[in-house]
Chain A
Amino acid sequence: MPGFVVKAERDQLVKDRVAAFGEKVTAITQEADLVCIHVKKEAVHELLKTLRDELGFAFLTTCCGMHFPGEAQEFGMVYHLHNMRAGHRIRIKCRTTANDLEYPTATDLWPTANWMEREAWDFFGIKFKGHPNLKRILNMEDFPAFPMRKDYPLEDPTRQDKDDRFFGR
Chain B
Amino acid sequence: MSKVEKPDYWQKDLVHGRDLSELTTLNLGPTHPATHGIFQNVLTLDGEIILDTEQTIGYIHRAFEKLAERRPFYQIPTLTDRMNYCSSPINNMGWHMTMEKLIGIELPKRVEYMRVIVMELARIADHIICNTIIGQDAGATTPFLYVYQWREKIYDIYEEICGARLTTNMGRIGGWERDFSDLAWKRIRHIVDELPAGLKEFDSMLLRNRIFMDRTIGCGPIGGERALAYGFTGPNLRAAGVDYDVRVSDPYCSYQDFDFIIPVGTNGDTYDRFTVRQEEMRQSISIIRQALEKLEKLSDKTSLRADVPEWVLPPKEDVYSAMEPLIWHFKIVMGETEVPAGEVYHCVEGGNGELGFYLVSDGGRTPFRLHLRRPCYIYYQAYPEMIKGGMLSDAILTMSSMNVIAGELDA
Contacts and interface: CB of A to CB of B under 8 A. Distances in A.
Given A3-B101, A167-B366, A78 B229 contact: no
B236 to A, nearest CB: 13
Interface stretch (A17-25, A38-46, A54-62): A54-62
- Max count, chain A CB within 10 A of own CB: residue among B105, B242, B342, B371: B371
A31 B100 contact: no
Tell me whether chain B's interface is mostly helix, strand or loop, or mixed: mixed
B279 interface: no
Interface in A105-153: 110-112, 114-116, 123, 137-140, 147-148, 152
Interface string A1-25: 1111000000000000000000000
B231 A60 contact: yes
Interface stretch (B207-215, B324-332, B373-381): B373-381
A92 to B, nearest CB: 12
A168 to B, nearest CB: 4
Contacts of A155: 70
Contacts of A84: 228, 242, 244, 249
A48 interface: no
A78 B366 CA distance: 20
A111 to B, nearest CB: 5
A79 to B, nearest CB: 11
A49 interface: no
B260 interface: no
Interface string B80-106: 000000000000000000001110111
Given A114-B381, A138-B410, A140-B58, 13 more contacts: A32-B342, A32-B343, A59-B228, A59-B231, A62-B356, A62-B378, A67-B369, A80-B373, A84-B249, A87-B249, A116-B378, A139-B58, A168-B364
Closest 5 CB pairs of A and B: A112-B231, A168-B364, A138-B58, A168-B365, A64-B371
Interface of A: 1-4, 31-34, 36, 58-62, 64, 66-67, 78, 80, 84, 87, 89, 91, 110-112, 114-116, 123, 137-140, 147-148, 152, 154-155, 162, 166-169
9 contacts: A3-B107, A32-B102, A58-B228, A84-B228, A111-B229, A147-B66, A154-B63, A154-B69, A168-B363
